[in-house]
C-alpha cells in the first residue's frame, strides 16, 4: 500500500490549497480558487482535494496521512489572549487535541475517512516547501509573512536531517502587517494587493521614510514592530489607517480616487523600509548562522524586487526565493514537512523543475470549433509570426501552475516591442490599472544580453535591470505618472519598468521546453528572445483552469488568438461591450 | 442566566490566560517552538 500524504493549506482564511505526495513523489498541487472562481478563496479546499485524488488515481480511503499547514488551536489561543509565544498555550496544545476547533478536521474527515491527521507549525511548512524545491543541501532560512499562529517572522537552519528554528518574532504587528496596512491606506483594499504597491513604487521617490518610521520601532537586527496594536482583521486594520495619514500628512486614498505623485512616493518609501528591514534581518542571520545559502520564503518573499536586490547584494553566496513560498504553496510545504519527518533523515526527492502541478485544460468546448484556425507548417513558428504582427495570444497548454503567477501554462502573451502594448493589455484585455507593469519571458541563454544577470529566475522570483546599453535616458522630471509611463525608455518598454527593472522569468529548455520552443521561434522571427507574459484572467478573477473557462474569458476580452492544447482559435468578437462589462462585474468585488 | 454564567466563565479563562502568559518583546527572540508533528 503506497504512502499517500495529503497536504492541506491556506486555511487561515485565504488561499486554500491541497497537494498530494505519493511515496515521496509530488503528484499534484492546486489552489481552491481555481475551482470556485473566487480569488484567494479560503474555504476548505474540497474541489482541489477531489481533483488531486482523481488526477492521482486515488480515493479518499487510499490517503494514509493528512497534514494541515497550521495549528488552529494555537491560532485560536493567540487570538483569544493576544499574548503570543506563551508556554501556557503550548502546554494547552499538549492537553487539548489540535483537531478540536474542528473547522478543518471535520470536512477533511468526511472526504478522508481513515488517514492519520497532523497539524504543522505554519512557518515550518513554508520552510519545508521552499527548502525541498531549492537547489541546496543545507541552508539558512528566513520566513516572513503576515501571521503564522502567533508569529510573523522566523529564521533558522535546515538540512535533510535537521530543521532548527532559531529566532522568531512572536507578534503579528510586524513587517508583513505594515506592508498590508499601507496597501490598504493607498486604496488597494482587496486581499493580496501588496504586489500593486510594489509595482507603483518605482514611479515615486522615497521621501516619506522618516514619516513611516514613526509608526514602528526597529533595531539593527530587523526587529520591526508597529507601535499600535493591530490585528489581522478588517476592523482593526481599517481603524489603523488614520495613523498612517497622521504620520504622512496625506489622507487615506479611496479605491476610486486618482493616483497622485504623493501616493507613488509613499509606495516607494514603504518599499524602501521593507528592503532595509529585510536586509537587516538577512545580515543578522548570516552573522548568527554562518551558513553559505539562504532560502527566503513566506508571503513577504513574494516581493521579488527585494529578492532580486538580495541576490545581487551577495550577503549569502546562494539565495533561493520560493515561488510558492506564500500560503498558496503551504499544502505542498506541509506534505513535504511530514514526508521528511516520516523519512527520518532519508532524502526527500522532489522534482522541482517547474511547479506545473495542477490539472490539464481538458476537452475543448464544441462551440469553439467554427473558430479554429488551420495551421500549416510548424505550430510555434506560426504563433510566433502572429505575435510579431502585434496579435495578443492566450496560451493554455499542459498542467496548470501552482502559485500566484502564470508561468507559461495559463498565460497571455504579446510582443513587448509593440508601442502601446502595455496600455492595450491593461485596459482592453486585463481591465486593470494602467500603471501596472508586465513581466518578460526571456530565453535563459540570451538573458545576459538584455538584463544584468546570468542567474536563473525560472519562476519569476527575482527582478533584474535592463543592461545600460539598451536604455534610453529619461528626462529628470515628468509632469505626471502617465507621461513617465508613456516615455519610450527602451525597445521593450512594456516589460521594463520606469526604473529599468523587470520581473524576469528566464525560460530554460530543461525547465519549460514548451515555452522554450515558442520563444525560440519568436527569436527566429524577430531577433528578440523576449515576450510579454501575464496571467490569463481579468482583474479580480482567478487564473483560468480549464479549456471551457479559457474560452469564456477569451470571448469576453480583446485577445486576438487562443492556443488550447495543440489547436489555435481566433476570437469570434461576438460579445458587445455591455455583455463584456456584465461578465466582468461578476469579479469586480475582489479586484 | 446560564448564558451569563458561561460568558463570565469564558472571560475568567481569558483573564487567567492573559495574567499567566508574558507579552512578547519587540524584535527577535529565541525560539523554543517544537518541530515534531503530533498525529491524531
Rounded to an integer, what distance in angstroms lies between the CA atom of residue A27 and that of residue A32? 17
Partners of residue B30 in chain A, C-beta under 8 Å: 166-167
Whether residue B37 and residue A341 make contact (CB cut-off 8 A), yes or no, is yes
Q: Identify which of B29, B34, B38 has the shortest CB distance to residue A98.
A: B38
Residue A382 at interface with chain B, using a CB cutoff of 8 Å: no
Query: What DSSP element (H or E) covers A95?
Result: helix A87-95
Q: Scan for cell 508583513, then name that residue.
A: A176
Tens-binned pLDDT, residue by residue, of chain A (591 aa): 889 999 999 876 789 999 999 988 889 999 999 999 999 999 999 999 999 999 999 999 999 999 999 988 888 877 777 665 566 766 776 777 777 667 778 899 999 999 999 999 999 999 999 999 899 999 999 999 988 888 899 999 998 888 889 999 988 899 999 999 999 999 998 888 899 999 999 999 999 999 999 999 999 999 999 999 898 889 999 999 999 999 999 999 999 899 889 999 999 999 999 999 999 999 999 999 999 999 999 999 999 999 999 999 999 999 999 888 789 999 999 999 999 888 876 667 676 567 899 999 999 999 999 999 999 899 999 999 999 999 999 999 999 999 888 999 999 999 999 988 888 888 767 777 767 779 999 999 999 999 999 999 999 999 999 999 999 998 888 887 778 888 889 999 999 998 999 999 999 999 999 999 999 999 999 999 999 999 999 878 899 999 999 999 999 988 999 999 999 999 988 778 788 778 777 776 544
Whether residue A225 and residue B26 make contact (CB cut-off 8 A), yes or no, is yes
Rounded to an integer, what distance in angstroms lies between the CA atom of residue A19 and that of residue A30? 7
Query: Which residues fall within 8 angstroms of residue A161, CB to CB, at 6 or more apart?
Result: A345
Rounded to an integer, what distance in angstroms lies between the CA atom of residue B19 and that of residue B40? 30
Give the cell for residue A589.
468585488
- SS (HEC) of A264-305: HHHHHHHHHHHHHHHHHHHHHHHHHHCCCEEEEECHHHHCHH
Whether residue B14 and residue A81 make contact (CB cut-off 8 A), yes or no, is yes
Residue A83 at interface with chain B, using a CB cutoff of 8 Å: yes
Please report the residues numbered 261 through 300 in chain A whose beta carbons come closer than 8 angstroms to any beta carbon of chain B.
Answer: 284
Which DSSP category does A60 fall into?
A: G
Maximum pairwise Cα distance, chain A:
71
Size of interface A-B (CB pairs under 8 A): 92
Rounded to an integer, what distance in angstroms lies between the CA atom of residue A380 and that of residue A258? 42
Comparing CA positions, the residue from A356, A330, A267 lying closest to residue A104 is A330
How high is the pLDDT of residue A583? 78
Please report the residues numbered 128 through 187 in chain A whose beta carbons come closer than 8 angstroms to any beta carbon of chain B.
Answer: 153-156, 163, 165-171
Whether residue B40 and residue A163 make contact (CB cut-off 8 A), yes or no, is no
Name the packing angle between helices A72-81 and A87-95 (round to 10°). 140
Please give the radius of gyration of chain A, using alpha carbons only, rounded to the nearest integer: 23
Q: Scan for cell 497537494, then name that residue.
A: A19
ipTM above 0.85, yes or no: no
Please report the residues numbered 329 through 368 in chain A whose beta carbons come closer than 8 angstroms to any beta carbon of chain B.
Answer: 337-338, 341
How high is the pLDDT of residue A589? 54
8 Å CB contact between A149 and A125: no
Name the packing angle between helices A175-185 and A261-289 (round to 10°). 170
Question: Least CA distance to A88: which residue of chain B?
Answer: B21
Cα dihedral B39, A341, A316, A126 in deg (nearest 10): -30
Q: Decide the pairing of beta strands A293-297 and A318-321.
A: parallel
Query: What is the DSSP code string of A330-368?
Result: HHHHHHHHHHHHHHTTS------S--B-S----SPPGGG
Query: What DSSP element (H or E) covers A236?
Result: helix A234-248
8 Å CB contact between A415 and A441: no
Residues of chain B short of pLDDT 70, as ranges, are 17-25, 34-40
Which DSSP category does B3 fall into?
A: H
Query: Which residues fall within 8 angstroms of residue A374, CB to CB, at 6 or more apart?
Result: none
Rounded to an integer, what distance in angstroms lies between the CA atom of residue A243 and that of residue B26? 20
8 Å CB contact between A32 and A48: yes
Rounded to an integer, what distance in angstroms lies between the CA atom of residue A479 and that of residue A498? 14
Give the cell for residue A186.
493607498
Beta-sheet strands, E only, within A73-147:
116-119, 138-144
Q: Identify which of A67, A83, A155 has the shortest CB distance to residue B22.
A: A83
Amino acid at each position: 500500500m503506497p504512502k499517500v500524504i495529503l497536504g492541506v493549506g491556506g486555511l487561515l482564511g485565504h488561499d486554500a490549497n491541497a497537494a498530494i505526495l505519493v511515496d515521496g513523489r509530488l503528484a499534484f498541487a492546486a489552489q481552491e480558487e481555481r475551482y470556485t472562481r473566487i480569488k484567494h478563496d479560503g474555504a476548505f479546499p474540497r474541489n482541489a482535494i477531489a481533483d488531486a485524488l482523481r488526477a492521482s488515481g486515488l480515493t479518499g480511503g487510499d490517503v494514509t496521512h493528512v497534514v494541515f499547514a497550521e495549528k488552529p488551536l494555537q491560532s485560536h489561543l493567540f487570538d483569544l489572549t493576544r499574548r503570543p509565544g506563551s508556554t501556557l498555550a503550548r502546554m494547552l496544545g499538549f492537553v487539548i487535541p489540535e483537531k478540536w476547533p474542528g473547522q478543518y478536521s471535520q470536512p477533511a474527515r468526511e472526504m478522508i475517512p481513515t488517514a492519520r491527521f497532523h497539524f504543522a507549525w505554519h512557518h515550518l511548512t513554508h520552510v519545508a516547501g521552499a527548502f525541498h524545491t531549492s537547489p541546496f543541501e543545507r541552508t539558512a532560512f528566513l520566513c516572513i509573512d503576515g501571521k503564522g499562529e502567533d508569529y510573523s517572522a522566523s529564521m533558522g537552519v535546515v538540512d535533510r536531517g535537521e530543521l532548527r528554528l532559531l529566532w522568531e518574532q512572536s507578534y503579528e504587528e510586524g513587517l508583513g502587517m505594515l506592508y498590508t496596512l499601507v496597501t490598504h491606506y493607498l486604496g488597494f483594499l482587496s486581499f493580496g494587493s501588496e504586489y500593486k504597491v510594489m509595482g507603483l513604487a518605482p514611479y515615486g521617490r522615497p521621501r516619506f521614510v522618516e514619516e513611516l518610521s514613526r509608526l514602528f520601532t526597529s533595531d539593527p537586527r530587523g526587529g520591526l514592530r508597529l507601535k499600535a496594536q493591530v490585528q489581522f482583521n478588517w476592523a482593526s486594520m481599517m481603524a489603523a489607517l488614520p495613523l498612517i495619514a497622521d504620520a504622512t500628512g496625506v489622507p487615506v486614498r479611496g479605491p476610486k480616487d486618482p493616483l497622485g505623485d504623493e501616493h507613488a512616493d509613499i509606495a516607494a518609501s514603504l518599499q524602501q523600509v521593507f528592503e532595509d528591514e529585510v536586509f537587516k534581518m538577512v545580515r543578522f542571520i548570516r552573522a548568527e548562522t554562518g551558513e553559505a545559502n539562504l532560502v527566503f520564503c513566506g508571503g513577504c518573499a513574494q516581493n521579488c524586487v527585494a529578492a532580486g536586490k538580495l541576490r545581487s547584494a551577495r550577503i549569502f553566496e546562494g539565495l533561493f526565493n520560493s515561488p510558492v513560498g506564500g500560503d498558496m504553496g503551504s499544502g505542498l510545504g506541509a506534505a513535504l514537512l511530514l514526508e521528511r519527518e516520516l523519512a527520518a533523515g532519508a532524502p526527500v526527492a522532489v522534482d522541482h523543475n517547474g511547479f506545473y502541478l495542477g490539472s490539464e485544460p481538458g476537452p475543448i468546448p464544441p462551440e469553439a470549433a467554427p473558430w479554429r484556425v488551420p495551421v500549416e507548417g510548424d505550430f510555434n513558428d506560426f504563433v510566433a509570426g502572429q505575435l510579431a504582427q502585434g496579435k495578443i495570444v492566450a496560451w493554455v497548454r499542459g498542467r496548470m501552475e501552482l502559485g500566484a503567477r502564470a508561468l507559461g501554462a495559463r498565460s497571455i502573451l504579446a510582443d513587448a516591442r509593440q508601442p502601446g502594448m502595455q496600455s492595450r493589455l491593461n485596459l482592453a484585455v486585463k481591465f486593470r490599472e494602467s500603471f501596472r507593469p508586465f513581466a518578460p519571458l526571456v530565453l535563459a541563454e540570451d538573458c545576459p544580453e538584455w538584463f544584468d544577470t546570468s542567474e536563473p529566475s525560472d519562476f519569476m522570483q527575482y527582478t533584474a535591470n535592463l543592461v545600460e546599453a539598451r536604455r534610453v535616458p529619461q528626462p529628470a522630471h515628468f509632469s505626471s505618472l502617465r507621461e513617465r509611463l508613456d516615455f519610450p525608455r527602451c525597445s521593450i518598454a512594456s516589460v521594463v519598468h520606469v526604473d529599468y527593472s523587470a520581473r524576469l522569468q528566464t525560460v530554460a529548455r530543461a525547465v519549460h521546453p514548451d515555452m522554450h520552443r515558442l520563444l525560440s521561434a519568436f527569436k527566429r522571427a524577430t531577433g528578440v528572445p523576449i515576450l510579454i507574459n501575464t496571467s490569463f484572467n481579468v482583474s479580480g478573477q482567478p487564473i483560468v483552469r480549464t479549456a471551457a473557462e479559457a474560452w469564456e474569458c477569451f470571448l469576453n476580452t480583446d485577445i486576438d488568438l487562443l492556443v488550447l492544447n495543440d489547436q489555435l482559435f481566433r476570437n469570434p468578437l461576438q460579445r458587445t461591450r455591455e455583455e463584456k462589462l456584465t461578465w466582468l462585474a461578476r469579479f469586480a468585488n475582489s479586484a | 442566566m446560564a448564558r451569563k454564567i458561561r460568558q463570565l466563565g469564558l472571560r475568567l479563562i481569558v483573564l487567567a490566560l492573559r495574567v499567566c502568559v508574558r507579552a512578547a518583546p519587540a524584535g527577535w527572540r529565541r525560539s523554543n517552538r517544537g518541530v515534531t508533528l503530533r498525529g491524531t
